[in-house]
């Protein structure tokens, strides 16, 4: 079956088209993505502005055409925190539906954490034991932990790299202010995760963690999915000091950093460091699968 997953995130719209079948891994066939930066199109009332909606509508119309041209029999479309948190979410979804006939579902934060956990569990398997999964998005930080395919605890916190850049760093707050805020929010919810003990395998996924690992020396993406990649806490501590004195143009030249995300790498690094410190993690292994693959796997399981 050729099918697609259309992921409307806080930073990017991403259509992933795969050849999928139950009992096997989804095999990528085509990818179509565009920087939308919806989280930066929020007005003072918390609504996505007209320009942000227009860019989203245009992208979804084009994504539907891409899916049809590539022979997709089904497209699952969902949106995460930027639309989830917008006060005009219903208006956004209506505008998209009327222009494209695509029905985007808003994904709750705990489902985002749960499905990312499913993808990581399937990638690494049962030998990972008690698995801890960490995912820094544009609008939120997802954490999930468990010994099965469904996590015991799945949490979503408003600590995305884009959100923190906009609300803290771009607003003139210091790195130290941001550091205190991030650690306070994570620590408030850490008890439910730590109560079950440590992790046999601690894993990070998605773009921010992949970029940080690449900056710190992990293998580039062109070496393939099966190369082991890690982010070491000791390397991350040094990187944060380095990023604090670098301009956005300089950060964009670092390995693994895309131009449209360079502005939020500092905030992402602060969240990653806090996560590793508060959960006592010396390193995190990077998983190439994340939310989109989790959505696909869940759909295949229910066929």
* 206-249 per-position pLDDT tens digit: 999 999 999 999 999 999 999 999 999 999 999 999 999 999 99
Task: Say how many domains are in the chain.
Answer: 2
Instruction: Identify the bridge partners of residue 17 per DSSP, sorted by sequence position.
Output: 4, 30
Q: Quick check: helix, strand or coil at residue 220?
A: coil
Note the pLDDT tens digit of each residue in 26-77: 999 999 999 999 988 989 899 999 999 999 999 999 999 999 999 999 999 9
d(CA 261, CA 37): 9
Note the pLDDT tens digit of each residue in 64-105: 999 999 999 999 999 999 999 999 999 999 999 999 999 999
Residues 133 and 231 in one domain: yes
**67, 69, 79, 77: which is closest to 18 by C-alpha?**
67
Spell 251-275 as b/e; 16+ CB within 10 A means b: bbebebbeeebbbbbbbbbbbbbbb
Residues 161 and 236 in one domain: yes
Residues 53 and 80 in one domain: yes
**2, 69, 9, 62: which is closest to 39 by C-alpha?**
9
Residues 114 and 229 in one domain: yes
Residues 166 and 211 in one domain: yes
Q: Quick check: helix, strand or coil at residue 194?
A: helix
Residues 142 and 103 in one domain: no
Given 57, 91, 107, which residue is the final one in a domain?
107
Examine the pLDDT at 204 and tell me if it is beyond 90. Answer: yes
* Residue 257, domain extent: 109-292
Given 61, 86, 107, which residue is the final one in a domain?
107
Residue 204 lies in a domain: yes
Given 62, 86, 107, which residue is the final one in a domain?
107
**6, 9, 12: which is closest to 68 by C-alpha?**
6
CATH number of the structural domain spanning residue 191: 3.30.420.150
């Amino acid at each position: 079956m050729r099918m697609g997953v259309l992921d409307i995130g806080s930073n990017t719209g991403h259509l992933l088209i795969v050849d999928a079948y139950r009992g096997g891994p989804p095999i990528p066939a085509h990818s179509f993505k565009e920087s939308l930066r919806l989280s930066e199109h929020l007005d003072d009332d918390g609504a996505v502005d007209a320009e942000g909606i227009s860019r989203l509508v245009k992208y979804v119309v084009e994504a539907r055409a891409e899916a049809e041209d590539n022979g997709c029999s089904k497209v699952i479309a969902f949106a995460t925190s930027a639309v989830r948190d917008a006060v005009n979410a219903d208006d956004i979804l209506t505008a998209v539906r009327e222009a494209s006939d695509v029905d985007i579902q808003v994904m709750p934060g705990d489902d985002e954490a749960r499905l990312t956990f499913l993808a990581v569990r399937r990638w690494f398997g049962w030998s990972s034991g008690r698995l801890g999964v960490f995912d820094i998005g544009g609008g939120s930080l997802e954490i999930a932990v468990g010994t099965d395919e469904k996590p015991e605890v799945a949490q979503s916190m408003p600590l995305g790299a884009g959100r923190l850049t906009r609300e803290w760093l771009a607003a003139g707050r210091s790195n130290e202010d941001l550091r205190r805020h991030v650690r306070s929010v994570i620590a408030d919810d850490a008890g439910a995760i730590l109560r079950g003990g440590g992790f046999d395998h601690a894993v990070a996924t998605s773009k921010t963690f992949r970029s940080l690992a690449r900056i710190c020396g992990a293998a580039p993406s062109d070496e393939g999915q099966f190369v082991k990649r890690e982010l070491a806490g000791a390397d991350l501590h040094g990187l944060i000091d380095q990023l604090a004195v670098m301009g956005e143009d300089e950060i964009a030249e670092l390995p693994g950093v895309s131009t449209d995300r360079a502005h939020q790498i500092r905030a992402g690094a602060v969240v990653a460091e806090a996560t590793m410190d508060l959960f006592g993690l010396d390193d995190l292994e990077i998983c190439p699968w994340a939310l989109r693959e989790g959505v696909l796997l869940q759909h295949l399981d229910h066929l």
